[in-house]
Structure 1
């Protein structure tokens, strides 16, 4: 009997330790920056057709068979190609072990695609500003601990022609500036000057003291510095384009920034408007038990358990819940989201919009990946944003 009891106790201790480790790992991974991605998409072949068009054959999947424009990173990130329309599909009914899809290669921006064996499927159609064909120049934004690089796009060829209305484009968690380039063309059409920014811990801007993501709780300071730069260089009003975490940052600025009265509106693509709901949804999709995920959130919020996450200050997840802060929104917001988004729940965006019927507008696109609403229908995305900004945000 003593041996049985001892075994039960030991089993409970081991199980408890496993739960604690899983929760701690979950909490730490949420805030730990990482830029390493696995090239997990096999490239079956790259070839030219009878019209000399460059084509790529890939395994057919929910991602690779969605219409639109995408990209593939290969050669450990040194290579990049823009992938366009679907040319042919094979349902796998023949001798091949799986179906394939053949798509047009619109551009090869870098690297030798013909020799690539695998890559990463991405929404980053523009790896640099060059493929946009719009006049731009590099700038640096003074921020805490140094300078953050940015790209400034002008409606005219010289900075003297800059519009008084500026758009500031904010990328998402784990991303970099190229991810926000997709919003630049429509802003340019409206005559806005665009500033595509970096912020702490994204690998381009200076790191924070703790080297951890704060889910918008502190990153907004770096973007406010970009707003200050815009004001110093002729901006009168600002439109914020936020992608995913960039949406959180944009919302933070509407309340906390000293320039909040100059912000005219927000365009948010797959925004995180409630981090608690978003993190719990990701935990469920990762098969992490709810109580273990709950413990992970408590670790993120605890001043005494910062040694687990490495955070300099604990996260205030309640302050990052914009669904609950219904009465604090003062600006028109366009929310663009896909119902199939597995990273940032569409239902949370829906609740956010429903609670602000006078200010918030929802537009949906049938993408299957996070922040790829533009990719599935670039023209439709641009048109929706253009019309909304023209109707809801008056130009200066």
Structure 2
């Protein structure tokens, strides 16, 4: 009897031990796993959108999900599929035109490749997968920017002025991010350089193969500025989305070329990585692990998150014209921080976009986005030779 009672008394300790193990595994998974995922390059911008349920020449039917219901215009991509006879391709889908309990119908256009019912598709917020010429009919050349780690290709679009736009895409992103606003930049006559940087698919890796959230990557933007100056640029407009915003702001703090910057355009910029990391912990309902996640990201990447907190360093931007787009449905960048940053700067224009996800303000309302951008660029525009830009096609 004494032995049985001893076993009964051990059960609470076994239960507590099991709970402690589960808590430890959750801690390791969320904190260490989350840090590793954030800092490891993956180069994926698309989101699975299920399979095609029905297709006509002008409309596509998809299963209703949070992804397929997204407000706005997006690219559609698919791989070759022997079962459905589809060949790899792309298309453009517009806003939802009708829906049922289970499905959504959206307009489809610009189909390249073979798309059939049953094909698995992905949404691409960048819209385009090609270069400026193949996607928009905009002539360009490929420039090779020499940075500390090696050669980094950039798309160079000619203009008629000496104020150059340096476009910086976000974390794990692609130069195709620049294609959405590019027609507006071309219409303003502004030479544009859409850069690549360390850890991009076509650029050198960082020494440890990890992303450093803008703390080191800004050096590659610095190299791009030096290249532009060698090609006749006299001043710059810096255009950064997502982590590109972090790179742009670090450039302003540290680059010798910062005095040549006459304006900034920011789209869902990361202005405080601590806020982003805490927000992700909150989304997973483990907000109490936010501080630990920040510490592990800092340790794993050798990153000073305080250095990357722009909310405490706004004096650098006090007299700089800034246009800041921020989606109010952004699951990554806290829109309250973008609003706070802009509110403290007299020369900043803040454009909140309801229903827009991360760097999807253009997608939700292209015409409004382009109108805001054109108005901001007008004081810097070169009217000589400025064209009308290219339309979505």
Matching residue of 1:148: 152
Matching residue of 2:166: 168
Matching residue of 1:28: 36
Structure 2 residue 2 is matched with structure 1 residue 7: no
In the alignment, is the contact (CA less than 8 A) between 2:68 and 2:104 conserved in 1?
no
Matching residue of 1:300: 297
Structure 1 residue 170: deviation in Å? 0.9
Selected match of 2:356 from 368, 375, 381: 368
Structure 1 residue 4: deviation in Å? 4.8
Could you tell me how far apart the structure 2 residues matched to 1:47 and 1:390 are? Answer: 41
In the alignment, is the contact (CA less than 8 A) between 1:176 and 1:204 conserved in 2?
no
Could you tell me how far apart the structure 1 residues matched to 2:165 and 2:109 are? Answer: 28
Matching residue of 1:41: 50
Structure 1 residue 381: deviation in Å? 0.7
Structure 2 residue 388 is matched with structure 1 residue 381: no
Structure 1 residue 286: deviation in Å? 2.5
In the alignment, is the contact (CA less than 8 A) between 1:64 and 1:101 conserved in 2?
no
Any residues of structure 2 matched to 1:43-82 within 5 Å, and which?
43-48=52-57, 54-66=58-70, 68-75=72-79, 78-82=88-92
Structure 2 alignment gaps of length 5 or more? 1-5, 81-86, 384-393
Matching residue of 1:134: 138
Could you tell me how far apart the structure 2 residues matched to 1:223 and 1:174 are? Answer: 16
Any residues of structure 2 matched to 1:235-250 within 5 Å, and which?
235-250=233-248
Indicate the SS of the match to 1:43.
strand
Query: Residues 91 and 38 (structure 1 numbering): CA distance in 2 closer, same or farther, change over 3 Å?
Result: closer
Structure 1 residue 59: deviation in Å? 2.6
Selected match of 1:332 from 321, 329, 333: 321
Indicate the SS of the match to 2:249.
helix
Could you tell me how far apart the structure 2 residues matched to 1:277 and 1:121 are? Answer: 27
Matching residue of 2:215: 217
In the alignment, is the contact (CA less than 8 A) between 1:341 and 1:368 conserved in 2?
yes
Could you tell me how far apart the structure 2 residues matched to 1:183 and 1:316 are? Answer: 32
Selected match of 1:341 from 330, 343, 346: 330
Structure 1 residue 205: deviation in Å? 1.2
Indicate the SS of the match to 2:116.
helix
Query: Residues 20 and 67 (structure 1 numbering): CA distance in 2 closer, same or farther, change over 3 Å?
Result: closer
Q: Report which stretch shifted further, 69-78 or 187-196.
A: 69-78
In the alignment, is the contact (CA less than 8 A) between 1:151 and 1:195 conserved in 2?
yes
In the alignment, is the contact (CA less than 8 A) between 2:47 and 2:67 conserved in 1?
no
Selected match of 1:354 from 339, 343, 347: 343
Could you tell me how far apart the structure 1 residues matched to 2:11 and 2:225 are? Answer: 66
Query: Residues 144 and 45 (structure 1 numbering): CA distance in 2 closer, same or farther, change over 3 Å?
Result: farther
Matching residue of 1:107: 110
How large is the Cα RMSD of the aligned pairs? 2.4
Query: Residues 80 and 286 (structure 1 numbering): CA distance in 2 closer, same or farther, change over 3 Å?
Result: farther
Q: How does the TM-score come out when normalised to structure 1?
A: 0.85
Indicate the SS of the match to 1:44.
strand
Could you tell me how far apart the structure 2 residues matched to 1:113 and 1:232 are? Answer: 46
Could you tell me how far apart the structure 2 residues matched to 1:253 and 1:247 are? Answer: 10
Matching residue of 1:95: none
Structure 2 residue 24 is matched with structure 1 residue 17: yes
Structure 1 residue 113: deviation in Å? 2.2
Matching residue of 1:84: 94
Matching residue of 2:186: 188
Could you tell me how far apart the structure 1 residues matched to 2:288 and 2:71 are? Answer: 39
Matching residue of 1:179: 177
Could you tell me how far apart the structure 1 residues matched to 2:59 and 2:314 are? Answer: 49
Could you tell me how far apart the structure 2 residues matched to 1:282 and 1:107 are? Answer: 36
Q: How does the TM-score come out when normalised to structure 2?
A: 0.86
